[in-house]
Structures are given as structure tokens and as C-alpha cells.
Amino acid sequence: MGREMTNQKPQSEMSYTVEQLVSVNPYNPDILPDLENYVNEQVSSQTYSSNANLCLLRLYQFEPERMSTQIVARILIKALMAMPAPDFSLCLFLIPERVQMEDQFKTLIVLSHYLETARFRQFWDEAAKSRHILEVVPGFEQAIQAYAIHVLSITYQKVPRSVLAEATNIEGLVLDKFIEHHITNSGWAIEKNQNKGQLIIFPHNEFNNPELKKSAADGIPLENITRILPILG
């Protein structure tokens, strides 16, 4: 679940054992320190494990005295980076209301709100103001840009450059290079629209090109055909 980090490193020794712990013995207060260390490892190595983080939030729910708000903040930032997966909401369901009222969490909730409602301009403005909270997690900006592109590519076949610029918070030469990169690697194309502005063309997928989806629905599952084979035969 969540986005593939393009610079994801292979799982370390520690992450392998923690994943095992989470799947084999999750309801165990003793693994709490391991899970906390694992959050920090996810942050520094730019990897992500939603299962392990949910497990930790659950343990915090069982023993609120052991909760570390710093760790929770990191989990939430990582969850934001996993959009469009609903991980951020999943985390909020497990965090007590009074904790969510703290300033840094209120900010993160506002940021999530902007992203959920595609208000990218407001998002980047607020993110700039909250740099001190966000900079602890490397890769944040790229992850959100990936989400922004995802939303654009399921909505648009052709998107004006200005919309792309606002969504990704890049402009000018940097944006040119960005677009070049995706033309080479992601199948994008460009053309000019009537106002001589640039249009970016996304590759067709089942969401921005619904014809692609329809063909799947006409098929009949094999099991149903086997019902009538004796009759036909």
C-alpha cells in the first residue's frame, strides 16, 4: 500500500525482524521500543511500513503513558507521503482526540485536508510555513509531488502547465527539467493549446480514459461457463 519510493533501499536486517514481529506477535508491549526505532529507520532510509506503524499506534493506544508525540508526528508525516493511500486517516482513528489538539498535529491535519481536497496552492503555502515540522523527514517534497501528479493524471488527459506548476510547486527551468524527465521515463508528451500555453499530456489509464475500463467488464468468469459445458457438449 502507498507509493513506491523511487529511491527505496533494500530492507535492512532490522526491518526484516520487525516485520516478522508485527505479523507473528503484534499484541506484545515488549516490542514497542523496536517499533519506535523502526519508525526512525523508515525516516532516515526513506522506506515505509504502514503495518508496523499502525501496530505501534495501537500499542500507544493500549498504554498512553508510553506515547512519544515526536514518533507519532513522524508516523503521520510518513502517512501523508503515502497518499493516495488513506494511511493518514487510519492513523488518526487510533490517536486520542486530546493529542490531535496539539499544535503540530493540528498543522498536519490541516495539511492532510488540503491534500485530500486537492488544494495544492494552500498546501504548499502552509508547508512552507511548517518547514520545521516537515524537514525531519527527508523525501517529503518528492512524495507529495508524486501524489499531485497521480491526482492530475487520473483527472486530466491534457493539463495546462500552470495547473501542473501549482500542484507540484515547481516553476520555470526546474519545471522544464521535471517535465523532460517524465517525458523520458513516464510516457508524458507536450503540445501547445490555443492560447500558446503548454499542455502536458498524460499516458492513458483506466481513470482518465474510461474506455479502457469498459472492456474488462464484458468478460464472463470461467466458472460460470463450466456450468453450461455439460449442456453444450
Partner 1 sequence: MAGAAPYDSEQSAHGDSASGYDPNYVPDSVKSFVVHMYRQIREKNVYEIHQMYETSFQSISDRFFKDAPWPSVDAVATYVDNDHVFCLLYREMWFRHLYARLSPTLKQRIDSWDNYCNLFQVVLHGVVNMQLPNQWLWDMVDEFVYQFQSFCQYRAKMKNKTEQEIALLRQYDQAWNVYGVLNYLQALVEKSSIIQILEQEKEGLEQFTATDGYDYSGGSNVLKVLGYFSMIGLLRVHCLLGDYHTGLKCILPIDITQQGVYTSVIGSHITTIYHYGFANLMLRRYTEAIREFNKILLYIFKTKQYHQKSPQYEQILKKNEQMYALLAVTLSLCPQVKLVEETVNSQLREKYGEKMLRMQRYDDEAFALYDELFSYACPKFITPSAPSYEEPLVNYNQDAYRLQLKLFLYEVKQQQLLSGIRTFLNVYSTISIAKLASYMEVDEHTLRTILMTYKHKMQSVDSDGKIVSNMDTNFYIDDDMVHVVESKSPKKYGDYFMRQIVKLEGIMTDIDRIKLE
Q: Quick one: CA dihedral 107, 109, 115, 118, positive or negative? A: negative
Q: Which helix (H) or strand (E) holds 87?
A: helix 87-92
Q: Give the whole-angstrom CA distance, residue 120 versus residue 159.
A: 15
Question: Using the rule CB under 8 A, is 2 a contact of partner 1?
Answer: yes
Q: State the CB neighbour count (10 A cutoff) for residue 101.
A: 10
- Binding mask of the shown chain, residues 60 to 99, with x at each position contacting partner 1 by CB under 8 A: -xxxx-------------------xxx--xx-xxx-xx--
Going by C-alpha positions, the residue among 226, 224, 215, 186 that lies closest to residue 202 is 186
Number of residues forming the site for partner 1 (CB under 8 A): 60
Question: Using the rule CB under 8 A, is 218 a contact of partner 1?
Answer: yes
Instruction: Pick one of 154, 174, 180, 203: the residue that binds partner 1 (CB under 8 A).
Output: 154
Instruction: Pick one of 103, 172, 220, 223: the residue that binds partner 1 (CB under 8 A).
Output: 220
Q: Per CB under 8 A, which region of 31-39, 41-49, 171-179, 221-229 contacts partner 1?
A: 221-229
Q: Which helix (H) or strand (E) holds 8?
A: none
- Cell reading at 209: 480514459
- Cell reading at 187: 510516457
- Binding mask of the shown chain, residues 7 to 46, with x at each position contacting partner 1 by CB under 8 A: -------------------xxxx-----------------
Q: Which is nearer to partner 1, 106 or 177 (CB)?
A: 106
- Cell reading at 218: 464484458
Neighbour-count burial of 217, counting CB atoms closer than 10 A to its CB (0-12 exposed, 13-18 middle, 19+ buried):
exposed
Q: Which is nearer to partner 1, 24 or 173 (CB)?
A: 24
Nearest approach in angstroms of CB 33 to partner 1 is: 16
* Contact indicator for 62, 98 with CB cutoff of 8 Å: no
Residues near partner 1, by CB under 8 A:
1-2, 26-29, 50, 54-55, 58, 61-64, 84-86, 89-90, 92-94, 96-97, 113, 116-120, 151-152, 154-160, 163, 193, 199, 206-211, 213-214, 217-220, 224-225, 227-228, 231-232
